[in-house]
Amino acid sequence: MVRARAIPKRIAIVAAIAAAVLYAGLVVVRVLYPIGYADLVRASADVEGLDAATLCSLIRAESRFHPDAVSPRGAVGLMQIMPETGAWIAERMGLPGFDSRNLLDPETNLRFGAWYLRYLLDRFGKLDLALMAYHAGPTRVEGWLVSGEVPFSGTRAYVERVLHAISIYRTALRWPIVVRITPSIPL
């Protein structure tokens, strides 16, 4: 009789350990691939006809989801938009009264960044070229295409990093429960 009770207890212990290991693995993935502002990301992606996982991957590469990030060159916010580019985007979107401080607002930054990525995709026709242009600037990418030059090694690494993370973000966004039960810890 004692032995019969021990088996369910062992099964419960093994199940609890397995659940803890699985949860720890999910937390590690969320640390390496944070997701913040998921609803805003999805909304911005939907407006521009983009994949939300692509935006998440781009944000990870740009700011690791830190809305107040400012690069040494002056790029601002989640999607690291240069103030001059932000002013140009606002003008193209027909939004008067642009103030570069608005780029620190996650909703504005995501809206502008998604619009700009859509613009670059339409301009260059391929995601890898659009990502190169997002990182190095569209004029530089046009020059590389005309001259046949190889892009900067940093730009190549950036594009590879963004493309690699897209599938991970697709999986995470497909299972929203994972995003809800695990903390996002931007480094």
Catalytic residue numbers, as ranges: 62
Please state, as a whole number, how many other Cβ atoms lie within 10 Å of the Cβ of residue 41: 27
Sign of the alpha-carbon torsion through 186, 164, 115, 74: positive
Residue 110 carries which side chain, given as an amino acid letter?
L
The residue with tokens 């969320």 is 30
The residues, any chain, with a CB within 8 Å of residue 133's CB and separated by 6 or more, are 120, 123, 124, 140, 141
Residues counted in the chain: 187
Helices and strands (DSSP H and E) totals, the chain:
9, 0
Sign of the alpha-carbon torsion through 77, 81, 82, 87: negative
